Structure 1
Amino acid sequence: MPASVAYLFDRITVNPRQCGGRPCIRGMRIRVIDILEFLAAGEQIFKFIEEFPDLEIDYIKATLLYAVRKLDRPVLAA
């Protein structure tokens, strides 16, 4: 994994005592799923950042990369 991608993964944390153990933005109680649902609803990334000024664009990138990596699993034929 390139270093430019690896640092993004440090921005996502999973803590059983925070947000029910769901993946969140590091140091914030913003869940990965909240950002994904916001984007899926057709909202603009910058609108989300306006609502959460501590959130940087790299956190959005990390969220998308996290989702891609979680979904990229091989399916074995029976």
Structure 2
Amino acid sequence: MKYACIRGLRIRVIDTLELFSNKLSHEQILEEMPDLEPDDFKASLLYASMKIDHAAALAD
């Protein structure tokens, strides 16, 4: 199965979202994954929201 990655890194969008769901802060995630940049968080959330919105549109 293919997963969306951030900026060509081997960091999956789902990995950042899971860290958020485990209540890690942006700063803690950046410590865990130093290749990330602050804008990557917004991009991950935007990607996830687009996927969710797309799935809801298909359900109608």
With the length of structure 2 as denominator, give the TM-score of the two structures. 0.82
Q: What letter is aligned with 1:66?
A: Y
Aligned residues: 57
Q: CA shift at 1:68, angstroms?
A: 0.3
1:49 to 20, 27, 30: 30
Give unpaired runs (5+ residues) of structure 2. none
Q: CA shift at 1:70, angstroms?
A: 0.6
Identify, as 1 or 2, the structure richer in strand: 1
Q: CA shift at 1:22, angstroms?
A: 0.6
1:25 aligned residue: 6
Give unpaired runs (5+ residues) of structure 1. 1-19
1:40 aligned residue: 21
Deviates more, 1:59-68 or 1:26-35: 26-35
4+ runs deviating over 4 angstroms: none
Q: CA shift at 1:47, angstroms?
A: 0.5
With the length of structure 1 as denominator, give the TM-score of the two structures. 0.65
Identify, as 1 or 2, the structure richer in helix: 2
Fraction of identical pairs, as percent: 47
Q: Aligned-pair RMSD on alpha carbons? A: 1.3
1:69 aligned residue: 50
